[in-house]
């Protein structure tokens, strides 16, 4: 079995800029688990545990996803749900392009038994997971409200394997689909 997801990778520059945001968030009293900066990306679709024998069909389906390269800009740090935060993330502005990618992936993978997502797709880059919230988290986030974290071009998607370890996830690229 492969714990798989489809991702759009962000530039090293954006990842490094988000490290500064993580440093400020560390000053809050919330209990947070931070994403390793080099692993920060946009998850387009989480596939879960996929049988090894199904991976070639997933790869073939993902190869049909084709869009023109597009620009993304990393903007505001916020939480997924202010009343019950589980994730601290950076919003992504891309004029709806990653949503187009998402819709193509949904269509391509549905015949393979992957259910369509019931929630609206919101492009974002997770910077931390909230284990225990604290009001000081929102104070720290408010200090980040006017910062920008850079922009880059997205020129393809990746199918990744995620292996969970006690020190955090380890990602392995299984497929890259360039555009």
DSSP string, 61-98: HHHT-----EEEEEEEEEES-TTS--EEEEEEE-TTHH
Give kind and range of the element (H or E) at residue 176: strand 168-178
Q: pTM higher than 0.85, yes or no?
A: yes
CATH of the domain at 173: 3.90.1140.10
Nearest to 158 by CA among 106, 105, 114, 119: 105
| CA distances (Å), origin 99, targets 32, 122, 146 | 28, 8, 25
Under 8 Å between Cβ of 87 and 30: no
Number of folded domains that form the chain: 1
Q: How confident is the model over 113-162, as pLDDT tens digits?
A: 999 999 999 999 999 999 999 999 999 999 998 899 999 999 999 999 99
Rounded to the nearest 10 degrees, how much is the dihedral formed by the CA atoms of 78, 84, 87, 91?
A: -30
Q: How confident is the model over 24-62, as pLDDT tens digits?
A: 999 999 999 999 999 999 999 999 999 999 999 999 999
The residue range of the domain holding 47 is 2-178
Token output for 15: 């990842």
């Amino acid at each position: 079995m492969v714990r798989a997801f489809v991702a759009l990778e962000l530039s090293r520059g954006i990842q490094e800029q988000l490290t500064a945001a993580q440093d400020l968030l560390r000053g809050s009293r919330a209990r947070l688990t931070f994403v390793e900066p080099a692993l920060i990306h946009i998850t387009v679709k989480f596939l879960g545990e996929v049988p090894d024998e199904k991976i070639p069909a997933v790869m073939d389906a993902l190869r049909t996803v084709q869009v023109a390269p597009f620009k993304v800009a990393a903007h505001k740090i916020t939480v997924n749900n202010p009343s019950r935060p589980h994730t601290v993330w950076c919003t992504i502005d891309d004029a709806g392009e990653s949503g187009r990618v998402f819709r193509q992936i949904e269509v391509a993978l549905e015949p393979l038994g992957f259910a369509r997502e019931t929630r609206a797709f919101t492009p974002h880059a997770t910077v931390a997971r909230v284990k225990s919230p604290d009001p000081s988290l929102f104070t720290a986030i408010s200090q980040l409200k006017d910062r920008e974290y850079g922009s880059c071009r997205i020129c393809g998607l990746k199918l990744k394997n995620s292996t969970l370890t006690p020190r955090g996830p380890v990602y392995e690229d299984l497929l890259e689909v360039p555009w």
